[in-house]
Amino acid sequence: MKNTLLKMQALAMAILLFAAASAQPAGKVYETRVVASPILHREVRYTIYLPPDYENSSRSYPVVYLLHGYTDDNTGWLQFGEINRYADKAIAEGIIPPMIIVMPNGDSSWYINSYDGKENYEDFFVKEFMPSIEKTYRIKAEKRYRGIAGLSMGGFGTLIYSLKHPELFAAAAPLSAAVFDDDAMVTTPDNRYEAVFGQLFGRGLKDKARLNDAWYNNSILKIVDKKSADELRKVRYWIDCGDDDFLSKGNCLLHIALSAKGVAHEFRVRDGAHTWTYWRTGITDALKFIGDSFHQY
């Protein structure tokens, strides 16, 4: 009986020691905070992840802006992507440096300025949102310590911001980015074009009439085509899209366009589709790529 009791005590102690050793520090998440926007004439919600040592230090941190997809909101990466859990684990294991992750609500804006000036989300993001966030939290507000990532519509926004504003970001990691060529825009069924793209590029447009200035000013492939290789090299790119994703063609075309200009970048095609399973299994590698940009060698 005594030996049995000793064994049980030893087992309990071993379990407690294992639990203590395996427990990892947790970052803090604020699910809903707001930034007041004079440009958009409303408050914009955002979710933010602060690394585990944020409240116990006085240091400043690098930042990653993480953009959600179409029909999601600022809580998408938290609720479905479990970004806090993946960030905690990667920081604890030394895979990524401690970083602040900011997730703004982009609604269905595609993160750009609309053709009619009614929804200037890009102006809001660059002129109001980023400055407000970087004044509110202890963030290293420099290009070399700033990254951007996102999925689907958020991958499109990631590319738009890094291509149009390369002075702001060290690295960009679009996942399953919504990259379309001209043919895809022309052949989109009228009802889908009107519902998804009409507010952005022009209402009631059909066929080649859709290939207007508003479209070309925000076409990822056209922007890459117009920029020099030296301009494109100002940001490091990690491009990741599943082999069964309906957006794989556009991502492959982006890879080809960058390769044709001799612009080094990372291009990943993994087994998977346009799903949260795919994005959850890819976000750590994407953050590692961005985190490596914050280092000196």
Task: Looking at the structure, tell me whether residues 59 and 196 fall in a common domain.
Answer: no
Task: Looking at the structure, tell me whether residues 175 and 203 fall in a common domain.
Answer: no
Task: Looking at the structure, tell me whether residues 199 and 232 fall in a common domain.
Answer: no
11, part of any domain: no
**Which CATH number covers residue 267?**
3.40.50.1820
Task: Looking at the structure, tell me whether residues 238 and 112 fall in a common domain.
Answer: yes
Task: Looking at the structure, tell me whether residues 124 and 203 fall in a common domain.
Answer: no
Task: Looking at the structure, tell me whether residues 195 and 263 fall in a common domain.
Answer: no
Q: DSSP string of the chain?
A: -HHHHHHHHHHHHHHHHHHHHH-----EEEEEEEEEETTTTEEEEEEEEE-TTGGG----B-EEEEE--TT--TTHHHHTT-HHHHHHHHHHTTSS---EEEEE--TTSTTSB-TTSS-BHHHIIIIIIHHHHHHHTTB--SGGGEEEEEETHHHHHHHHHHHH-TTT-SEEEEES-----HHHHHHS-HHHIIIIIHHHH-TT--GGGG-SHHHHTT-HHHHHHHS-HHHHTTSEEEEE--TT-TTHHHHHHHHHHHHHTT---EEE--S--SSHHHHHTTHHHHHHHHHHHTS--
Task: Looking at the structure, tell me whether residues 166 and 151 fall in a common domain.
Answer: yes
Task: Looking at the structure, tell me whether residues 172 and 193 fall in a common domain.
Answer: no
Split into its structural domains, the chain has a count of: 2
172, part of any domain: yes
Task: Looking at the structure, tell me whether residues 275 and 194 fall in a common domain.
Answer: no
15, part of any domain: no
Residue by residue, pLDDT tens for the chain (297 residues) are 555 655 556 555 555 544 444 568 999 999 999 999 999 999 999 999 999 999 999 999 999 999 999 999 999 999 999 999 999 999 999 999 999 999 999 999 999 999 999 999 999 999 999 999 999 999 999 999 999 999 999 999 999 999 999 999 999 999 999 999 999 999 999 999 999 999 999 999 999 999 999 999 999 999 999 999 999 999 999 999 999 999 999 999 999 999 999 999 999 999 999 999 999 999 999 999 999 999 977
Per-residue pLDDT, 17: 47
Range of the domain at 157: 24-180+219-293
14, part of any domain: no
Task: Looking at the structure, tell me whether residues 223 and 212 fall in a common domain.
Answer: no
Task: Looking at the structure, tell me whether residues 228 and 100 fall in a common domain.
Answer: yes
Task: Looking at the structure, tell me whether residues 54 and 142 fall in a common domain.
Answer: yes
